[in-house]
C-alpha cells in the first residue's frame, strides 16, 4: 500500500528500507508533538534511510508516526487478535508512554520535527523551517 502527502508517494521504497535496514545509512529525526499538547513532548526518534532530500526524510518520519493501518507506537508486528499492524516499523523508537495502552496519536499539522540542528513544523502541505 502506498501513502501520499502533498503529491509525494511513499510505500514501495520504504518497504525496501524496512526489509534491508542494514543496507542503509540512517539519519535520525526527532518527532515532537506540540499541536494539541500543553507543552512539547518528544514522542519518537525515527531512523530515516539515506533519502535524496530533507523533505523526503521528514515525509518518512511523518508517515511512520501516523496511524494509517494500525498503530505506529504499539511496537508489535501483529496485534493480539492476530491481525497485522501495518504501521509497525523497526526504525521508529517510541519515546513517550502509551496512554491507556491505546497508542500515541498521529503526527499532525502543527507538530514539529528536528533533523540535525534544524527544526521544522508540519504544515498544511509539507514542512516549514522554524
Residues paired with 4 in a beta bridge: 9
Distance separating alpha carbons of residues 109 and 47, to the nearest angstrom: 21
Distance separating alpha carbons of residues 121 and 46, to the nearest angstrom: 16
Q: 19 or 45: which carries more pLDDT confidence?
A: 45
Quote the domain boundaries for residue 94: 3-129
Could you list the beta-strand ranges (E) of the chain: 3-5, 8-10, 26-33, 41-49, 92-94, 112-115, 118-122, 127-129
pTM flag (> 0.85): no
Which three cell numbers, joined as nine digits, stand for 55? Answer: 523533505
Please tell me the predicted confidence (pLDDT) of residue 5.
57
> At residue 23, does pLDDT exceed 70?
no
* pLDDT single digits (tens) 33-52: 999 999 999 999 999 998 99
94, 20 Cβ separation under 8 angstroms: no
Secondary structure element (H or E) that encloses residue 15, with its range: helix 12-19
As for how many domains the chain has, the answer is: 1
Q: What confidence tier does 100 reach under pLDDT thresholds 50, 70, 90?
A: confident
Amino acid at each position: 500500500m502506498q501513502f501520499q502527502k502533498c503529491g509525494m508517494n511513499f510505500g514501495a521504497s520504504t518497504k525496501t528500507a524496512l526489509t534491508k535496514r542494514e543496507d542503509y545509512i540512517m539519519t535520525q529525526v526527532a518527532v515532537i508533538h506540540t499541536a494539541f499538547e500543553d507543552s512539547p513532548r518528544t514522542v519518537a526518534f525515527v531512523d530515516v534511510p539515506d533519502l535524496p532530500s530533507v523533505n523526503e526524510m521528514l515525509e518518512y518520519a511523518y508517515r511512520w508516526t501516523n496511524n494509517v493501518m494500525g498503530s505506529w507506537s504499539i511496537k508489535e508486528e501483529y496485534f493480539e487478535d492476530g491481525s497485522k499492524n501495518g504501521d509497525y516499523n523497526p526504525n521508529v523508537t517510541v519515546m513517550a508512554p502509551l496512554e491507556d495502552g491505546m497508542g500515541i496519536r498521529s503526527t499532525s499539522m502543527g507538530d514539529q520535527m528536528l533533523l540535525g540542528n534544524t527544526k521544522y513544523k508540519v504544515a498544511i502541505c509539507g514542512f516549514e523551517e522554524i
